[in-house]
Structure 1
Amino acid sequence: MKADITVLMSVYNNERTVGKSIESILWQTYPHFVFVIINDGSTDNSSSQIRKFSDKRIVYIDKNKNLGLTRRLNEQLDNVSTHYVARMDADDISRPDRLEKQHNFMTTHQSYGAVGSNFKRVNAQGSLLWESDFPLSSKDIRQRILLKNPFKHSILFFRTEILKTLGGYNEKFKYSQDYDLMLRLTAKYPVANLKECLLVDNHLDSALSQTHRFDQAKFATLAQINALRRGDYPLFQSVFLFRSLGYLFKSWLS
């Protein structure tokens, strides 16, 4: 059977985790995919970790310059010819039935633009920190998305035609590019989250997250403002911006 999913993973200095992340995709119960791995100018041993894998489904692209996640995803999106695009991060682990469950959902919900799922977050020792509890239905997601991003980027599974129709990711967004995309997508197409946790997020470097917290909050607020400015969501939901602005101020103080 011809591949009908393209899995996109951009790697930047993930030598500790990228091997396990790649394995989790190669061990999927749904085998009909192309796995595009972009080394985005890593300065550690990520490249040597990636080159250990010889699976014919892998397309490895080694870049010398770091351009960031948004640019790299858009570059490869232009080359995608499969029906679906699945995201994956180099520090996460997909459950073996992840692609199968998301593929089944999208083939039975032809009008849907994307499907995500819940996920688990673990620490460096593998101990569970928490599990997400995202809204599941398109109606509930649309009602809550302007308050907070109800998706995990690395578990998203898109219909390629719709993703390209939207123009892919907005390259003005260095952070929260997924939130901006999903605000645009959810305004025009049905979306969903599967209740199961189909991904494990490795929370290894809290200091790094702290460093970028203000930038993430800033770009998330910009995505919300843009969505309201476009008229994609009811004006009364602008009250959610007060929460975002408060979080932005708190992040700035930190």
Structure 2
Amino acid sequence: MNERNPGVSVVIPTYNRAHLISRAIQSVLDQTYQDLEIIVVDDGSIDNTGEIIKSFQDTKLKYIRYNKNKGASAARNTGIKAAKGKYIAFQDSDDEWFPDKLERQMEVFGDAPPEVGVVYSGFYRIEADKKIYFPSDRFTQKEGNIHNELLKGNFVGTPTVLIKKECFENTKYFDENLPALEDWELWIEISKHYFFKYINKPLLYSYSTANSVNLNQNNMLKAHETILLKHLDDFNKNKKILSDNYFDLGTGLCSNGDFKTGRNYLIKSIKVYHLNLKTMSTLLLLLFGQSIYFKFRDLSRKTGRRI
């Protein structure tokens, strides 16, 4: 019997999430759009994640397991290569889709021109008792050719995207060497070749968990530095954006106690764009010593302002 390829392949990487994975899988199975397959890639879990996944008696579900942990990027790449759908979506094992997520995105693709490769949406980030809507208004252009806007920082949530599988033919998938921010790097690459469409409403809940890799500040800083070097030609085209990225790296490193490297990045920031006032003020602040810097940093965090 010939098996027809599904419209959408949903890739779910997971690692030791036996207590959460059911919610993520069920939210995909409950979609109003049902022409799909679910590829769960178990990244070497040592808890009973595998048993939970196998308990789902649904032919849409496919299970791939690594014998040892390789990281979320490797797991997602495995899922992409195994996918049979024309479109690929990514679900995180601790997140929850709204039932109409895929249906709304497929409707947008149905009306979109061929240069659109990605349809993504807003989402609610759940942190303890807070519900925060993303992406923020800091990013002004959220659809079309958003390459330059993405160089300012990432605002495309991985579990929100629906992406044409053909997009990966011109890219190197998720960078498995990055310790964090691998989604940002991939969107920067894809945005060189395809336009993005944005649905300005939340279509999922993203839950903040204590062991999230993106909560590790050292990983974030290392990844940010690597991405800047990897795409330096693109960042160089807009000196203000490059300066702001150097500023973010510099202040992040200083906050982590690496004042020597942090100061070097702040100097780079002012060299590429002399009118960056926040960099100038931070460099002046550092003249008064590290203890003064930390006092101002803590004050800025309390007031919600950045130094």
Normalising by structure 1, report the TM-score. Answer: 0.89
Match of 1:31 in 2: 34
1:233 and 1:35, CA in 2 relative to 1: closer, same or farther beyond 3 A? farther
- Aligned pair 1:54/2:30, yes or no? no
Q: Aligned to 1:23, what secondary structure does the other structure show?
A: helix
Match of 1:144 in 2: 149
- Aligned pair 1:16/2:30, yes or no? no
1:163 shift after superposition: 1.9
Match of 2:70 in 1: 67
Note the residue ranges of structure 1 that are not aligned, 5 or more in a row. Answer: none
Please tell me the root mean square deviation across aligned C-alpha atoms, in Å.
2.2
1:223 and 1:41, CA in 2 relative to 1: closer, same or farther beyond 3 A? same
For residues 16 and 226 of structure 2, the distance between their equivalents in structure 1, rounded to whole angstroms, comes to 28
1:52 shift after superposition: 1.7
1:233 and 1:162, CA in 2 relative to 1: closer, same or farther beyond 3 A? farther
Residues 69, 174 of structure 1: 8 Å contact kept: no
Task: Within 5 Å, give how 1:71-86 maps onto structure 2.
Answer: 71-86=74-89
Residues 144, 150 of structure 1: 8 Å contact kept: no
For residues 210 and 7 of structure 1, the distance between their equivalents in structure 2, rounded to whole angstroms, comes to 22
1:198 shift after superposition: 0.8
* Alignment match of 2:115 (pick from 111, 115, 125): 111
Deviations 1:100-128 (A, max 9, x none): 1111212321211212111112245xx43
- Aligned pair 1:182/2:187, yes or no? yes
- Aligned pair 1:239/2:243, yes or no? yes
Give aligned pairs, total: 249
* Alignment match of 1:157 (pick from 137, 157, 162): 162
Match of 1:212 in 2: 216
For residues 131 and 222 of structure 1, the distance between their equivalents in structure 2, rounded to whole angstroms, comes to 28
Could you tell me which amino acid in structure 2 is paired with residue 10 of structure 1?
P
Aligned sequence identity (%): 22
Residues 217, 251 of structure 1: 8 Å contact kept: no
Could you tell me which amino acid in structure 2 is paired with residue 18 of structure 1?
I
* Alignment match of 1:91 (pick from 76, 94, 106): 94
1:75 and 1:16, CA in 2 relative to 1: closer, same or farther beyond 3 A? same
For residues 143 and 225 of structure 1, the distance between their equivalents in structure 2, rounded to whole angstroms, comes to 16
Q: Aligned to 1:113, what secondary structure does the other structure show?
A: strand
Q: Aligned to 2:65, what secondary structure does the other structure show?
A: strand
Q: Which runs of 4+ in 1 moved over 6 A?
A: none
Q: Aligned to 2:42, what secondary structure does the other structure show?
A: strand
For residues 16 and 186 of structure 1, the distance between their equivalents in structure 2, rounded to whole angstroms, comes to 35
Note the residue ranges of structure 2 that are not aligned, 5 or more in a row. Answer: 259-307
Residues 112, 190 of structure 1: 8 Å contact kept: yes
Match of 2:296 in 1: none
Residues 180, 214 of structure 2: 8 Å contact kept: no
Match of 1:222 in 2: 226
Q: Aligned to 2:199, what secondary structure does the other structure show?
A: strand
Residues 18, 47 of structure 2: 8 Å contact kept: yes
For residues 9 and 236 of structure 2, the distance between their equivalents in structure 1, rounded to whole angstroms, comes to 31
Greater C-alpha Rg? 2
1:31 and 1:211, CA in 2 relative to 1: closer, same or farther beyond 3 A? closer
For residues 99 and 22 of structure 1, the distance between their equivalents in structure 2, rounded to whole angstroms, comes to 14
Residues 213, 219 of structure 2: 8 Å contact kept: no
1:81 and 1:147, CA in 2 relative to 1: closer, same or farther beyond 3 A? same
Between 1:241-250 and 1:58-67, the stretch displaced more is 241-250
1:82 shift after superposition: 1.6
For residues 192 and 213 of structure 1, the distance between their equivalents in structure 2, rounded to whole angstroms, comes to 30
1:208 shift after superposition: 4.8
Between 1:243-252 and 1:48-57, the stretch displaced more is 243-252
Q: Comparing both chains, which one has the higher relative contact order based on Cα–Cα distances under 8 Å and sequence gaps of 6 or more? A: 1
Q: Aligned to 1:64, what secondary structure does the other structure show?
A: coil
* Alignment match of 1:128 (pick from 104, 127, 130): 130
